[in-house]
Chain A
Amino acid sequence: MGRVIVVTSGKGGVGKTTSTANLGTALALLDKTVVVVDADVGLRNLDIVMGLESRIVYTSMDVIEKQCELNKALVRDRRVDGLMLLAASQKNNKDDIQPEQMKAICDKLRTTHDFVLIDSPAGIERGFRNASAGADEAIIVTTPDVSAIRDADRIIGLLQNARIEPINLVLNRFSAELVGNGSMMDQDDVLDILNIDLIGVVPEDSGVITSTNRGIPLVYEDGSPGAQAYMRIARRLTGQRIPIPDFAQKGLLNNIMNWFKKKK
């Protein structure tokens, strides 16, 4: 039986879609079978970030309306084995789908795949309820700013009421430099407020923008700090124990200091 994980945040623009695309790809690179589901009906984006836009024939709406079989609507990602996308309909809107229908799709997908990642829309309304209906776990994506954190806090409350657990946190767009000069919350401050388990910290990486525009998730090109962070999160999702590096300690000066400390 596969795991159904909803990727959500409350606030928009914090990196839900980017995280879904990268974690899905990273899990597939770790030899898992994965479906990424775009639940943002009417404002779909996951297909673009995954670079699969041109290959969509059927959407989840067609499956619900029984226009096609579920496995026919899945778009196979040719770059890696075991990665599929279920696109959202761009013509409909969120009220056209019922939470039960999403749940039925998720329950079917989990019988054939190791991971089902659902890319939730922003907000706490119908779109979010649809996205979380079939999930048994959640990943909260937040950036270290107060408005995103308050929204994440709201979402965590709603997920807990819906008995969706565990809830793991991805701290996105983390800037060691800003934390260093005291103008950004560090991960301890964020965890102090949200009080859930941290599964990963993704540093600010300008590579994300180019990768989105080219439709190639970051994790395909190893080496960038963002790609490494997503690979680590994917490994943690599969149960491996990998420590979270302390990004705040980075920077040339700190590296030199640490080097001296080690020598002693």
Chain B
Amino acid sequence: MANPIVALRAYRDGLHLIIKPHLSIAEVEEAIQQEISRMNRSLSGTSVQIVLKCPVLEEEEISLLRSKLQETYDLTVRGVEVTEAPVSAPIAAAPTMHTITPATDSRDSRDSEPSRIVPHTIRSGQTEEFPQGSLIIYGDVNSGSEVRAGGDIVVLGTLRGSAYAGMNGRLSAVIIAMDLAALQLQIGNYMHRPTVSQKPRGYPEIARIGAEDVIIVEKFVKF
């Protein structure tokens, strides 16, 4: 099961230590220990980037973490970055188990968001961007084009270009297309490259972040 507070991820630029909303620094330390022991190989000598997806830690807490990582696991901290946390979840109210599922930050943010309708096909080289909310496209999104939205992306046609939903960090954002044939999907910071199949599936599909923190694409039945 994925650790609810801390995640270790390998990216192109090296390891990322992602820290999500939590109750106390002690809890974070415990979670780090669990996460590292879960990995079967030694991380000794490697460097790690700390990515904060939570309300920012105190300066001294970070330096505490830094020295702790160095001493206990021989991990060098490359840097600390703060990515925008999901706006919800004030720490005190957060349950100990905070997993990101489409249901957590819920319909509310979706309902309060504006959406924009694009009543035509988006062609190669064109970009449609709407950071304030969701995009609904009455047409195709062709190969070589890009759609980006703060909220959801709904394509009432074939999605062949790249789509980036939840560009402001709303991880409950989804991408729905009548025919989802995109080469690249992105929701929040998560990226997905679906395996390309030549044949259209013949049913609409939805892409969203699943419980395992990866983008899953499945048949769209209902929301």
Query: Footprint of B on A, CB under 8 Å?
Result: 124, 146, 150-151, 153-154, 156-158, 160, 192-193, 195
Least CB distance, B67 to chain A, in whole angstroms: 53
B88 close to A (CB within 8 Å)? no
CA distance A195 to B143 in the complex (A): 13
Chain A hits for B124, CB < 8 A: 150-151, 153-154, 157
Query: Footprint of A on B, CB under 8 Å?
Result: 120-126, 139-140, 142-144, 158, 160
Do the beta carbons of A154 and B121 come within 8 Å of each other?
Answer: no
CA distance A58 to B123 in the complex (A): 39
CA distance A195 to B140 in the complex (A): 9
Chain A hits for B140, CB < 8 A: 193, 195
Chain B hits for A124, CB < 8 A: 125
Chain A hits for B139, CB < 8 A: 195
CA distance A124 to B144 in the complex (A): 15
**10 new A-B pairs (CB below 8 Å) besides A153-B142, A160-B120?**
A153-B124, A153-B143, A154-B124, A154-B125, A157-B122, A157-B124, A157-B125, A157-B126, A193-B142, A195-B121
CA distance A146 to B120 in the complex (A): 21
Chain B hits for A154, CB < 8 A: 123-125, 144
Least CB distance, B126 to chain A, in whole angstroms: 5
Q: In this complex, what residue of B is CB-closest to A159? A: B123
Residue of B122, B124, B139, B144 with most partner-chain A CB within 10 A: B124
CA distance A160 to B121 in the complex (A): 11
Least CB distance, B137 to chain A, in whole angstroms: 13
Offer 10 A-B interface pairs, CB within 8 angstroms, sorted by A: A124-B125, A146-B143, A150-B124, A153-B123, A153-B125, A153-B142, A153-B143, A157-B124, A157-B126, A160-B120
Least CB distance, A169 to chain B, in whole angstroms: 13
Q: In this complex, what residue of B is CB-closest to A196? A: B121
Chain A hits for B121, CB < 8 A: 195
CA distance A193 to B141 in the complex (A): 9
